A and B are shown apart, each in its own frame.
Chain A
């Protein structure tokens, strides 16, 4: 660490001209070298620095000038003077205290009371869940005897929520509805007038900005995952989609009905005939967007595509449909603003996939689910049509502020909420004002919408339900859809002390619009969609508390029940993996499995039969970790992850077969390892295929050692043992001598089909010999 910043590098670094080694060296060195920082400062333009400081100063004064009671109440971290700190801290401490009775101690700074694993939970949960109501049971779990538990349907009487003690940040999760557009518009304007500055709304620049949750993001695949091949129940000898919940389809890059496969490659939808054991290209459709995902229902595909409004839409010139707006207040998708394109594609003639309907929705695609042909699409949006200005040569700060306040005062509902444009016609809010709700404690100007599409019909009515908040991770049972958002920052962008996750539940049991049900909150953050599971009317949520980038993390499982419009914690168990983080979760019926990891992999088994008293019953420590857990028949659990040395250094992919017949004594029955390799299935479960009829597990594999190899490895499971049965690789691309990684596998009849970004191959299910490869043309 004796390297010093070469003075000749300072100028180029400040101008952004350094690359590679030089830039990285300066990056790494700056935080530890005050002299070097001073050198950089001397080379930085004073005008730019002064301009930014004026923004900081304005922000300070704006914060002081607008100590609105509402802002203060919802954000203990709004601008604080010294003497106020004590008050805020006390308030937090009281919240924690009230929670500790029910949950484990939720506090990022002083992590959970670490209950020694396999003991009773530290706190005796108050049995607040006197009426575990599940409006629509059907909590079907994949494997274990998942009879839809028909709990009595208790009318959701929103009488005073029975001691929402478990809701850590109860204030931010109580929801209010609007009785019409007047009250919604008034709510938005009032909230914004309190917060608007000469630069627009807090936290953002220029146009629309919202104190959004940085942890949530639109391109965030893992939670809701793009991918998921699908085989409807028609073709019994074809593999089904690997999804979390039986009967709840998830969008993926591959869908198949056993006769045809539909594959997204680049910006093209490709149709292949797969029924006769070898792939044959039969049709294609250019989409115009990349990163699309598919849901297949009968002869219809719902294609979900992210768009940034920068590709020329066929009808970009459609006039603004909404009223007033002195500026371009309502172009359907302002260029550069994220939108989600929904297309219904008729594939009844596979040679001619045809778009039968299209709608563009403001916002990022978070994820989607489909049950019995009814798709629910979750999008996040921030207001993008408010023509804010900022101080510049033309305007002083005061003038800019005055202008921006006028913008807010004159704003209409269409400038705040996500709009939908269908075809070249009407642009309208996705949700009616009556279908829009807001947390009673202000949670920002962003919105989370659940849209409903009958894939067999059209997009005439998307029937959205909107919550004025953020959304990040989606999970759905057949009857309820949950959206979770990790909160690292509060609504004005200040870091929160108690990292927590807000949860919102929507009723999707009926084919109509999703109905907002309830909200709640749990301490910590989630790993992915598998961190949530609904069973017998209860939502189980596995979280890691504490800052993931620091020591002091600890994990636990919370059980929530809906009580009126509150998702209340009725039981918790903590103490999993001190200083470790969750790497995998799987809830199967009354049992939960949680993998935490830092150096070794504790696999915890949890007994969840009593929702008010979940408990850890077993623990298995082995080197490495599992990143994905898959049920493999009674008493058997497959784990896919990384092997590791004793000090936690990962060494390559490992697949484990766990015997969990005795939950108190889980054991690793068998394992196979693939040194210096990793698998896409470790972070995307859609890449994982367990084909039970042949006792085969198929996962993509790529090695990073000198012997580079990429393809699919087949692992045979028989008599409680795993062994490598063979491998499948695609031919090198002749143009680039690049071998594309295989991303998905599915089985039709006696053939295994594998899909990469460049082509599809079929191999014999028994011998794994190639039966043919079809490159994607062009």
Chain B
């Protein structure tokens, strides 16, 4: 089992193989926990999101259409399960912040592929949070707002500010 690809494991899960799910879990739960943990300070909420993620995989293994990395697909499920938790138990991981227009994601991703690291470090924490949510986590502005506990307008404002500062830093 240790040498099966993630895709093979998903096929086995689809056939009702719980051991295959366990193998997937062993491979992916740890990094999902770690990565979600940097987005939410409450470990209980993170644990629940990871648990929900693998239950969702069990119930809908066929939702992965064989395109792209299974890891990225799992992240997409996990981060939204985390958001799902916020919907019911409101926990604000980073305190309150401000916003972004979706078409500007292009600008951000360009910057990302440049010299994201050093530029990101110069942003204030609340701006970093918005950039991580929208660029790295692949969330829409609205979802980012849920993650950060911010109104949509605030997310957009912060995204604008982040873009401006990143541009300045790059020039």
Contact = CB atoms under 8 A, between A and B. Distances in A.
Interface of A: 13-14, 16, 18-25, 27-28, 30-32, 34, 36-38, 40-41, 43-44, 48-49, 51-53, 55-57, 59-60, 63, 77-82, 85, 203-210, 212, 214, 216-222, 226, 290-291, 308, 336-338, 382, 489, 493-495, 548-549, 583, 597, 625, 627, 642, 644, 648-650, 678, 680, 682-684, 702-706, 708, 741
B117 A21 contact: yes
A678 B90 contact: no
Nearest to B42: A205
B138 A549 contact: yes
Contacts of B71: 30-32, 34, 37
Given A31-B69, A56-B25, A221-B153, A216 B87 contact: yes
Contacts of B145: 217, 219-220
B151 A21 contact: no
Given A41-B30, A217-B87, A549-B76, 17 more contacts: A20-B120, A23-B132, A28-B112, A30-B35, A44-B33, A55-B48, A217-B86, A308-B90, A336-B89, A494-B59, A495-B60, A648-B106, A678-B104, A678-B156, A680-B153, A704-B160, A706-B168
B37 A52 contact: no
A213 to B, nearest CB: 8
B134 to A, nearest CB: 12
Contact of B47 (A51, A649, A741): A51
Contacts of A20: 117, 120-121, 123, 128
A52 B87 contact: no
Interface string B42-78: 0111011011101110111011000001011001110
A24 B116 contact: yes
B151 A291 contact: yes
A21 B118 contact: yes
A202 to B, nearest CB: 9
Interface string B5-32: 0000000001110100110011111110
A48 B25 CA distance: 13
Contacts of B84: 203, 212, 214, 489, 493
A444 to B, nearest CB: 11
6 closest A-B pairs (Cβ-Cβ)?
A704-B164, A21-B117, A41-B30, A214-B84, A44-B30, A20-B121
B34 A13 contact: yes
Interface centre among A30, A85, A597, A649 (most CB of B within 10 A): A30
B74 to A, nearest CB: 8
B153 A40 contact: no
Contacts of A56: 21, 25, 51, 54-55, 58
10 contacts: A20-B117, A21-B118, A28-B112, A28-B136, A37-B27, A40-B34, A56-B21, A210-B88, A219-B149, A220-B146
Nearest to B15: A82
Interface residues of B, number: 89
A702 B157 CA distance: 9
B52 A203 contact: yes
A81 B87 contact: no
B53 to A, nearest CB: 9
Secondary structure call for the B interface: helix
B103 A642 contact: yes
A41 B101 contact: no
B101 A627 contact: yes
A72 to B, nearest CB: 12
Contacts of A30: 31, 35, 71
A30 B30 CA distance: 11
Contacts of A207: 89
B55, B136, B163, B167 — most chain A CB neighbours (10 Å)? B55
Contact of A219 (B16, B146, B161): B146
B150 interface: yes
A32 B90 contact: no
Interface in B116-171: 116-118, 120-121, 123, 125, 128, 131-132, 136-138, 140, 142, 145-146, 149-153, 156-157, 160-161, 163-164, 167-168, 171
Given A204-B88, A205-B48, A644-B103, A217 B146 contact: yes
A340 to B, nearest CB: 13
Contacts of B47: 48, 51-52, 55
Contacts of A682: 101
B59 A80 contact: yes
Contacts of B56: 493-495
A642 B101 contact: yes
Contacts of B171: 706
Contact of A683 (B96, B107, B156): B156
B59 A704 contact: no
B38 interface: yes
B38 A27 contact: yes
A338 B90 contact: yes
Contact of A24 (B18, B34, B72, B120): B120
A77 B59 contact: yes
Contacts of B43: 48
B121 A704 contact: no
Contacts of A81: 16
A30 B84 CA distance: 23
A95 B57 CA distance: 25
A222 B120 contact: no
Contact of A31 (B75, B77, B104, B121): B75
A16 B39 CA distance: 9
Contact of B26 (A41, A625, A627, A649): A41
B154 to A, nearest CB: 9
A37 B90 contact: no
A214 B136 contact: no
Contact of A79 (B58, B85, B151): B58
Contacts of B33: 44, 48-49, 52
A706 B170 CA distance: 11
B16 A220 contact: no
Contacts of A741: 157
A1 B106 CA distance: 19
A24 B101 contact: no
A93 B128 CA distance: 44
B142 A222 contact: yes
Contacts of A221: 151-153
Given A205-B48, A217-B146, A650-B104, A60 B55 contact: yes
Given A21-B118, A48-B47, A650-B103, A82 B30 contact: no
B101 A708 contact: no
Contacts of B96: 290
Given A31-B75, A220-B145, A704-B161, A52 B51 contact: yes
Contacts of B59: 63, 77-80, 494
A649 B167 CA distance: 15
Contacts of B101: 627, 642, 650, 678, 682-683
Nearest to A17: B38
A55 B116 CA distance: 38
Nearest to A57: B18
Given A23-B38, A30-B35, A214 B83 contact: yes
A205 B85 contact: yes
A683 B157 CA distance: 11
B132 A24 contact: yes
Nearest to B17: A82
Contacts of B60: 77, 494-495
Nearest to A597: B103
Nearest to A36: B31
B117 to A, nearest CB: 3
A13 B80 CA distance: 21
Interface in B85-111: 85-90, 96, 99, 101, 103-104, 106-107
B56 to A, nearest CB: 6
A382 B87 CA distance: 10
Contacts of B28: 37
A317 to B, nearest CB: 23
Contacts of B164: 703-705, 708
Given A79-B59, A205-B45, A683-B101, A212 B88 contact: yes
